Structure 1
């Protein structure tokens, strides 16, 4: 055998060894036919169909410095040399066929490697495609024919010959010998259809891949599900698409190593949901139970998707939908909190409050901490909103306050019921009470405040609640009528609350003012025991109240007839300086204290019960120390004491002592009182003439304008009673002129009524009417008007209206009808205005007088027109026509008169009777005798008349 033949056989044996070694492992091509990561890999499970080349094969003598392509070329050269060395006539055909097949496989692999290194150089496959076609044509029945057809389809697809690739795959599908190979073919056909946008066809092929679970690997099945989902999405089969994506995401065999595929699967799922109508359609697309394992991730990615597109309403819906779909899941609370953060970031305040309300309703038991916070926030917001509504001028907005208060109270009540163990419970309960008060639920608020008066409540809150309880009661008392039966009970309750407050909370800023009220109130109620206890507390703990406490203590001692101690206390009070200068007593008050001190000494002397001895004791004071500061008081009190005795001797003694005091103490503190007292004695004796100058003298010495006016008024009354009308008018006029805004309205009205009467009785009626008119106008506009003044004003107004009506009636219609009618009509308007003013008065009398008066005015005008002289120059026919015209003119006035009077007559049915009604009946009898000039019985009138 030649050397050449020996070398050829050695190469062939070496190649055969490599062939048999390479046949033990299946190929794994990294590059799928469409060049995308989600495409299927080549695979073959049948041993006879395995490709004869593996990536891991190594060739001896290959240097590590060479590239992979170079290494593969070196290996390929070995096989080609082995093939060329064989003598075609003598070589084993099986060996030759095997070498050619191996060479073709290596050519494919080398081309794949070159393509991997330069993906844009698809021309590397052209010679391989040519060789594959030749091989397939020559080996139609070869064991690797189907595998190489599959490879041909793959390479055609890579080089852009998709139609040829699809035809090859279709042919392969018809002749595929194994189920697994058929599955691969179906996948490749699906890929081709997808790339050509024939999605329905792609769906069919992907579905064929999935029909037999044993026919393909789990990886290819997952990719088939994935691609079918995208195909369904392309043809708007959103439900089927969503179900495929869900199947893939929840498949335990689905690897998450490929992050891109995982992200795109979620993206396809999200697009399916979005295109189907949004998150609200999820239950109609997939089973919520099946979705639950990935629900949190899906909804969050949905939210990211909507956020990226700034579709804020869908973001909110996604958060809410997750909670609706999985309300009991642990993630529901997380999603709600994220939604709240989102709304807060977007400054959606109204939606944020609404969502917090939903949180409370849904998660109160599962998230108590957040629920407590949100509950308080909503309670406080609604309370603040209600208070703002209360300030609004618009009534509709003010009405909204009640709704906001109701919401606030509802949240407070929920908190108090749910979170009794929280540290801020007491403070919140106090806020709840405040809100109840603001909402007008006073009784409920009082109960709430009372519940805070327990040792378990922190001191600060107890203190605030106690004080608020007092002020609440105080407001209730002020709002009620003073003679209400409930006021006494409330006053008693307030007293007890105030007493406990001072004892339990003396450090409170308002404790001193409450103690001050207690001292005064207990003294007013003659509860001297409590009052003395309160004054002791004030003197010990509240220096600012010592002045007031000493005063009350002195008055109590005086009332208890503890004369010596009372006198000493008053004397101490007279020299005491209060802490607050504004609390200093007025001179009049000091006069009273000084007077009380003297009275205390006097009462000490009165132990003998002998007036004469008492007066003598006073006489010793003012006689023995005429220049002492107590001497004038002693003299004055002696005179006062004498004046209180029934024996005429003492009355004369009193007059004597008072005159002495007046003469002796021109600058005495009691000079004015002495004159007043002497005047009072004269008044009691009805010696008005002597009393008036004394009071006038007193009035002249008064600096205080208010007191001076009061004195002038009394002087005027005295002059009036004494018959000195001129001086009385002057005094009353002076009082009225000097009156200002501080003058009590009752005094002004009293003076003006007296002045009216004096003018009237003195024949000065014009002045009287003028004052009447002023009185009526002032009383109608006076908030301080009383029933007495209003009645007087009504009488004056009626008198003035009747007077104006008389003036109107005095004007007669003459032959010059137009001119005289205008004059009469002008007076008519004045009279109507005078009567109309009566409408401002309350009561039936005013209303009935208006009806009767105005009715008479129009009746008179109607009658005056009818009785007006007929122009003498008219013919008889013209006179008749003239009278017809006059009657037409007079008729409306008669109608107005009837309407006005009939208003009064209608009151008879309501049991009303008055002179005005009687006057209306009289007028109606004249106007409509057929109807009213007869005897009728009116129900309701008899009782009134009786």
Structure 2
């Protein structure tokens, strides 16, 4: 057993052999092919065959009885055998060692390409090489010449040299082989390989000779088709294009026949066939192109694949963007094979080539040529089978549609009769191409129209008559029949001779009657009867037109609803024109109730009815019949609410209601008017009218809303200010607190001047917020009154001072309450500091009120300051005592507390006295009285002669 790196003899060696064989043979006789990506645009000498021949030949490996033997052992065995005294043993060992080196070298190359490291391979594989194999083969030939397998060994020697990169030496071996071993079994393959090698060296003459040697061996060789293919290419490379074709065409025929028989290799054959076509195309391309093709087939006669040769040559030209040459190639085939089944499609390819090549001027003629040669009026079409016609019909129809449309459009642009006649001729093809009425009728109609536009009216009448009275389902039958009338009318208009014109009119009338018989339900049938009424209107003979329309309505059966409607419309419009408004209203109502109208027509007639009613109402108003006029105006609004005069009618009715002092009705009418016509010009004075009505009905809030609108639109600033104040007062009067607040706020922010009235507005806001229970916003406006007072300075008066003092007092009162609510608890020092702090804030607030010099609030604030001292003294005396004191300690603590409270009480008495002394200044209000009451409680001997007064704010004095 060998080491783990050794290669096992059985399957591993077989893998090495197969890989080596593939690597060797896939190189196509020792030289790699270069890939070709297309012929390019020139030079054509660089063009190569695209099919490459690769054989994979696997030689059998003799089986061994030994299960596992390392490669090193095999090599050593062969090397020992090479020292054998028996020559045949030496020769066999030498050759087998050469073969083994070939396989191991192949495996080494495969392993290294797969990413393995050289060191990871066994020594035998690492040391193997194609050079060593070649050396052993050469040694075998030299030491043992002229053996039976000499040709095979030389062949292997050639392979080893090729794989070792010694291509010239390899080729020399092949040359030597065919020179010496002419009858060798390998000679056909060797000749083919020589051809491949010389072809790759671009030695096309020698390559051709080698391929010729293969061909000379007969068609039975597996290399015959390949050699024929490459022999042709060699001649092509030698620019012997005419000779190359002599190879390519026989090859093509062999391949085509083989393709029918052998489905297993169909894909490979397809590729080879495809490239053979390409080679043929290139050969013709390098000669005279389509001209050479024509000459060739004239010589050999028609072939089933002939059209494909033209096709591939044309495709080659297209690849080179030689569009005209491609088109000429297609045309060459068509020219020589006009009735071939592929000829129409080649003509279509000419069209597509011109399109792709950007030759718009050639496209249309090519399409015309297609239709002339293969359309419905061509010889090809007449003799073609129904299947061929069926296949061609879509192409004919498509191109015919385009050609006919083109010439029709051209005619419509030029307006030349001759051009219209050309279009009509092309449309006539559709009559032969199509059988179904629904398909052919539209084109027949277009043909008739073209004749009409060509001013060939008589021929147009013939075609229109056929369309109208032959086709049964065509949707434009009636139109065709009507076009006959138009054609006659045109002839009548162009006719100068009276007699001839009379005869044409007679024909027109005759056809009109026929029209009415065939199309009794058509809207045009009664139109002939109606025409008289229409013409009377044109001539402004209104009464007669009305009479004619009434007569039409009396006709039985034939008239359509639309024609009856038209008659009723004539009557209604006529009466309106005659200013017979009452009758017109009745006739218009009939039109609206009985006729089929578009929405636009219906709107117009409703408008006309509204105008009729409005005119009747105006007449009543002018006669002084206000109640009747008002009723008519209201009837108009109810009957025609969307009419343009409805707004005038509503306004006129409301105005009459005001005149008649119908306040409830006026309110309803004016509110409705605003809702529907608020943006109308008449609505501009609506607020004044509604304000009047609301005040008459004591609807203060609604009145405020109207004045608000008036104020928003007035351009007089002073008037706007007055209205703004009045709006607020009305909302307050209506008890609409929210709206009143908003109105007063808008006033004071918008109109800070005059200052006094703005202050009154702020006072109103204080009052309203107080009612609403919103203390935060109430206090905001208290503060605003005070701040504005300070800014106003000389503008202030007694009223603003009073309001400012009141606001200051109201803002101070919460401070007094906060002070009162603080209880003196243990630890006394802490709660006493808190209470004194609250007291200081309150004293400061009350002290500022005196600046306003309003007696009522001066006495009130003075009394409150005295109360602050008085309450603090009492709270100290009644404060919580510490726990755990004995009787003596409690007595001592009481003395201390009294010492604290006594000065405060004295201060309170002093302030009460200063307030009570205001009686000397003739001030004796509620607060002075309260101060006297407090003094009577504190100093009863001196002040208890007065009436007892209850303490204020629940404070026991």
TM-score in same-fold range (> 0.5): no
Specify the structure having the higher radius of gyration (Cα).
Answer: 2
Query: Which TM-score tier does this pair reach, normalised by the shorter chain?
Result: 0.3 to 0.5
